[in-house]
Structure formats: C-alpha cells, structure tokens
Chain A
C-alpha cells in the first residue's frame, strides 16, 4: 500500500525544511518565496520499504487555492486531481492569522488533514501562547506542534499523518454564517450531478466565487450559468460586495474566532531585535549603501584577501611545486612519449588545475553568501531591491532569481517561473544571468589577479556590473512595446534574523562548491583535452602534424576566423577569442583554455606563471573589457537550454541570446575604446562607434515611457 501525503502551506512557512526532515533529503531551502516552484517527492523516513510505503510531496508555497499564480495552479491541480491520501498543512506559528487562511481552504477540499504548527520554538521564545487542544477542536483535525528546523515533533507528526491517511476520514470544512451556507447549498442543489461526489462543497464555493477555471471545468450550460449568475449577483447586492470578497471575509471571520479562542499574543512593549536591525538595514536612505558595502566586503574578502591566499597556495604550491613537477617526472620515468606528457601536464593538469585553483575562493564566497542567506539578510535585499526596481517598472520578484543566480544560472532561470506576467518573466530570464555565477568567478579572480594585481575593486565591480546591467536593461526594455506595462506585485514575508544554522550553511557551501569540483573533473577535463589537441596539432609546411608554433594550430586557425570580431574590444587575439568561445560550453573553460594556451604547465620548468604571461597580452582596459564581455554575454549551453525551455519560443530564445550578446559587446566596446582614448589619447573609428553607442544608450534610458492602455 502506498500512501501519498502532500505538504501544503504558505511560502516561507518551512515546508521544504520539513520535507527534508521527513524524507532525509537535501532539497535546497531559502528564506524567500519561490524556492519550490514545482512539486517534489520523497519517501517518508521509516516508510520507504515494507507493506506501507509513504510518499511525501512538497508543494510550492501558496497563500490560497485561487488559480492566480503558477504555484497555486500546481498545488491546486495536485490536490484536486491526484487526490493524495492526506495533507500535512504547515502553519507558521508566528504568523498564525495569515497562515490559517489557506487552512480554511484546504479543509474545503475534503482531503484528510493534519495541521503542523511550525516554528513553535519561536512562538515560545516570543512568550506567546497557543492552545493546541482548542485549535484542534476548532479546526476539526489533529494539530501537532513542530520545529522543522530543530527537527522537534517530527516523529509525532509522521505518526499522526500516517494514521490520518490510513483512517481516510474526509475533513469537514468550517461553517460560514447561515445566509452564506444557504447560498452554497442552493448552488449545490442547482448543479446537482455536475459536482464531483467527494468534495461538492469546494466546487460550489468556487462557483460562488466565480472561479473561471472551475466554471469552465464543470461545463455549465449557458442557461444554468445565467441562472447561477443572477443568484450570485443578488447575494452580492445584499452584501454590497463581490462574491469572492464575501467568501474571503467569511473565512477571516472564522479565523478571528479561532485566534480569539486559542492564541494569546504577547503585548509587545518594545521592538524586537529584528525590528531594530531592520530600521537601519532597510532604511530608505541607508539600505542601498549598506547592501553595496556588504557585497563589496563579501567579494573583496573572498576573491582578494582570504580566498586569494588559499588560491595562491593551491596554484603556486599544490599545482606549481607539487603536482605538476611530480606528474611530469613520473611520466618521463615510465618512458611516456613527449606529446602524451604534454597532453597530461599542459593539457589536463594545466587546464583543470587552472580552474581548480579557484576552488578556495569559491568556497569562501559561498560561505559568506550562505551566511547572509540563512541569517535573513538576503530576504531583506529582495525587499530593498523591490523598492528600487519598482521605480523603474521592474518587480522585486525579478530579484529572487538573481539571488539564486549567484550559484548557477540554470536554477535562477527556472525560478523566474514565479513571475506571473509573461513580459516580466521573459525580461527576468533575459537579464538574470548577468549576475556572476560560480563558473564566472574564476574569470573574475583571474583578471583581478593577473591584470589588476589583486585590486580590491575588481571583484566587487563584477557583481555590481551585473546589477547595473539588470537595472538598466529593465529601464530600457520596459520602454519598448514588448515589455511595457506595470510590474507584477511582489509580496514576501521578512523572516526574523537568526544565527545561521551551521548545518544549513555548510550544506549550501558543500552543494555549490562540490558541484564546481565535479564539473572540473568532467566537462572541463574533456574540454581541456580537446583544446590541447586543437592547439597542439595543425598544418606546418602543408602537412598536418604536431605543430611547433602554436599559431599554426587548428585552434589558432579557428580563433583567427572570429578574432577580428573582438578586435574593437581590445582582445582581437585568437587565444582570447578561443577562450571566450569555449566558455559557451561552461564558463570555467575560459580559464581552463587560458591554462592550456598560456602554459600553466610551464610553471615548474621556467618559473613563468600563467598570470604573468597573460598580463603581457592584455592592457588594463582590454582585460576589463574581456571580463565584462564574458560576464554579460550569452551564458553557457546549460543556461541557454534553460532559457529555451522557459521561453518556450524560438523567437524569444534568440531575442534573449541576441540581447545579452549585443549588450556585452556594446559595454566592452565602450570600456575599451573610451578607456584607451582617455588614457592614451588614441582616437579611432572604434572610439566614434563607442561614442555613438553611449549616446544611444543614454537616449534609451531617458526617453519617455510607453503608455500602455
């Protein structure tokens, strides 16, 4: 026998944390809404095998069962069509009133239910009291207190949920006032056999609410529809409100009664610590400078100071002094052919090593980001950014994918699904990969270290370049016909600040860091082998052979075919062009390719370092132009695939890729041309084109907004 238990609750009520506790899985949790976009399944601990197996389904967080958002559609469809044996309704004990609204609706579905009051540790800490026995009586279903984060009360919840599911007693909805009850039964009577037998009340209430999807699903005849409509209108007239609001008010009336019965709220004499911190951190004037300072410190410490010390050790000592010479000597001692020695040392170890060298910086960066996420600060950033984004016609919802995008662009693109309006969703997909992901960090660190001598501003500037690109893109795109219109509303709860959980932080850092290492050992390793072969073989004296001069290699030939495109950007050399192209497979490949081409493998032999050789090929401006191009241009193939899937249209996919590449090219052109002109006085056709691009950019930013009817 397999029992399915659905986890339903408000966003940020701790569903995914509870899901992890119930199933022992490691799903990603975050303290902002939209972390779970689609349902996830797992086996309940202790019920994975045997006679009774229990599958737990984590549904996206929702505030109601109305079909307004994609999350609501996913959850509602699952509950009504798949009909799980039980619902575990997760209620945030610190926000009882708002959370109980969904509870009243879940009760209407008729599915057996158990209510889990989460965050009871915080309720007690706030010296608030909750009479669970009374609540159980009022709700008419078992109520269990838990703390998903501390894994308290989980065993009792499992036991109760399984028993409720086995008993299969349908839950009964809460009763409205007499008038509304008579209206609902009248609708039920009129619809008769059209209503499903297991939960006719739910459908009758939805018909009263004029829920278009339910009306459509019931295939009502025109005359019946008209009859019911006239009936609803008369009730609306009597209540002087629309039918949906009448039901909403009735539900809140039930909730008020319940809260009055079972909840004793502490009369707060003073603001909580979170309130006091928020007064500074989300202050209208200070919020943005504080955010800028925090992110500056995060990138500065991870890339330039602590991270750099560790990276230097990995590059110079671990690879430079230990691994490379030992590998080379070992291969020579067993009589390995010179070319194969080159492939292993210069190709594989040089290429993969160049990428792996940045692992310490990545771990340090993600440690900081995980702490900021877990303590609740990042949720505030979404709130702060919403205030700023809204001014430019963007929604704060667009910032959530960007927060996720610091790890990887693929889940960030997927997270854009929470945005209901197509135009805003598309715009977010187009811009979210501007935020540097983990794969771009080695490029940032390489340029910062090799060309700017580890200057403090370079790494943070990469992050802020991403944010500025997103905001300015938003302003420009919102003024076009394709994206004009009001931004989507953004509602989110700000969790209280708390000391980050060591488990959560290390889990997050390990997940992100280890996948980076795994990627270096798979796709990057294969890529470096291909790059090495392409740079080692070519045509010399009309014969295809292993080349002595790398400029005669296949890679040089291919690179030279496209290098001219990048000449106006200051890096028209075939090596840089080839690195940028290999970056499309995975962005780490940019550094991996440099590792192969500039001879990371040479470190041990002649003391020449990759970074030193690289710096001789770039000026400060061409280096920064190269960095900006790789940050903003089309992302890796995996992210492009996600864009294609989410856009669900070839035209929109190409618009997104085209926009990203065009913006990257224009920005890099302006940086190199204007920078070179100012510092050296060299004025070329490229400078003129850059000037025109800047004027065009300013015009697109300040031109009047398009009025939408």
Chain B
C-alpha cells in the first residue's frame, strides 16, 4: 500500500512538472533556462527567431 501511495505521489509530481514545462514552453518560456523571464529580455520567446530575422532583414 505504501509503495503504491509513494509511486502515485512521484508519478503525479512528474506529470505535474512535465505539464508545467510543456505549458511554459507553449507560453514561450524556456524549459531549462535558469533565468527568470523578466531578466531575459524575451530571449526565450518562441517568436524570437522571427523577430530577429525581421530586424536583420530590416537592418
């Protein structure tokens, strides 16, 4: 019983972490970047590459 309970807690934690990481990724945040997004100058944004390309083409 104890084993099942602990296993369930671990599985739930893992699922919760992965779900959060997927959500962060969808929201343009990095999964493994240690910086907080407010420090990051948008470096983790998913559309950043497009923005850089646009600016480079413009510049």
Interface residues in chain A, defined as those with a beta carbon under 8 Å from any beta carbon in chain B: 25-28, 35-38, 40, 67, 70, 73-74, 77, 331, 334-337, 340, 343-344, 348, 407-408, 410-411, 413-415, 417, 437-439, 511-512, 514-516, 519, 521-523, 525-526, 529, 585-586, 636-639, 641-642, 645-646, 648
Question: Are B32 and A25 neighbours in the complex by a CB distance under 8 Å?
Answer: no
A348 proximity list for chain B (CB < 8 A): 10
Question: Are A331 and B2 neighbours in the complex by a CB distance under 8 Å?
Answer: yes
Select from chain A the residue with minimum beta-carbon distance to B39: A28
What's the Cα separation between A343 and B38 when bound, in Å? Answer: 35
What's the Cα separation between A515 and B48 when bound, in Å? Answer: 21
Question: Are A515 and B36 neighbours in the complex by a CB distance under 8 Å?
Answer: yes
Question: Are B2 and A410 neighbours in the complex by a CB distance under 8 Å?
Answer: no
Q: Which of B7, B32, B42, B53 contacts A636 (CB 8 A)?
A: B32
18 residue pairs bridging A and B, Cβ less than 8 Å apart: A26-B38, A28-B38, A38-B41, A40-B42, A73-B59, A335-B2, A336-B3, A336-B5, A343-B10, A414-B40, A414-B43, A512-B35, A514-B36, A529-B10, A638-B31, A639-B33, A642-B43, A648-B53
List B residues 3-55 near A (Cβ within 8 Å). Answer: 3, 5-7, 10, 13-14, 17-18, 20-21, 30-36, 38-44, 48-49, 51-53, 55
What's the Cα separation between A468 and B42 when bound, in Å? Answer: 29
Among B6, B32, B36, B44, find the residue whose CB has the most chain A CB atoms closer than 10 A.
Answer: B32
Select from chain A the residue with minimum beta-carbon distance to B54: A77
A336 proximity list for chain B (CB < 8 A): 2-3, 5-6
A637 proximity list for chain B (CB < 8 A): 32
The size bracket of the interface on B is 35 or more
A343 proximity list for chain B (CB < 8 A): 10
Question: Are A38 and B51 neighbours in the complex by a CB distance under 8 Å?
Answer: yes
What's the Cα separation between A40 and B38 when bound, in Å? Answer: 10
A525 proximity list for chain B (CB < 8 A): 13, 17
Question: Are B41 and A36 neighbours in the complex by a CB distance under 8 Å?
Answer: yes
Question: Are B21 and A522 neighbours in the complex by a CB distance under 8 Å?
Answer: yes
What's the Cα separation between A648 and B52 when bound, in Å? Answer: 9
A526 proximity list for chain B (CB < 8 A): 14, 17-18
Identify 13 new A-B residue pairs, CB closer than 8 A, beyond the known A516-B34, A526-B14. Answer: A40-B42, A407-B39, A410-B30, A410-B44, A417-B52, A439-B34, A514-B36, A522-B17, A526-B18, A636-B32, A636-B34, A638-B34, A645-B49
A73 proximity list for chain B (CB < 8 A): 55, 58-59
A334 and B2 in contact, given A38-B41, A73-B55 (Cβ under 8 angstroms): yes
**Top 6 nearest A-B pairs by Cβ distance?**
A334-B2, A408-B35, A638-B33, A414-B43, A335-B2, A28-B39
B58 proximity list for chain A (CB < 8 A): 73, 77
A408 and B34 in contact, given A331-B6, A334-B5 (Cβ under 8 angstroms): yes
Among B39, B42, B52, find the residue whose CB has the most chain A CB atoms closer than 10 A.
Answer: B39
Question: Are B14 and A529 neighbours in the complex by a CB distance under 8 Å?
Answer: yes
Select from chain B the residue with minimum beta-carbon distance to A520: B34
B40 proximity list for chain A (CB < 8 A): 408, 410-411, 414
B21 proximity list for chain A (CB < 8 A): 522-523
What's the Cα separation between A417 and B44 when bound, in Å? Answer: 14
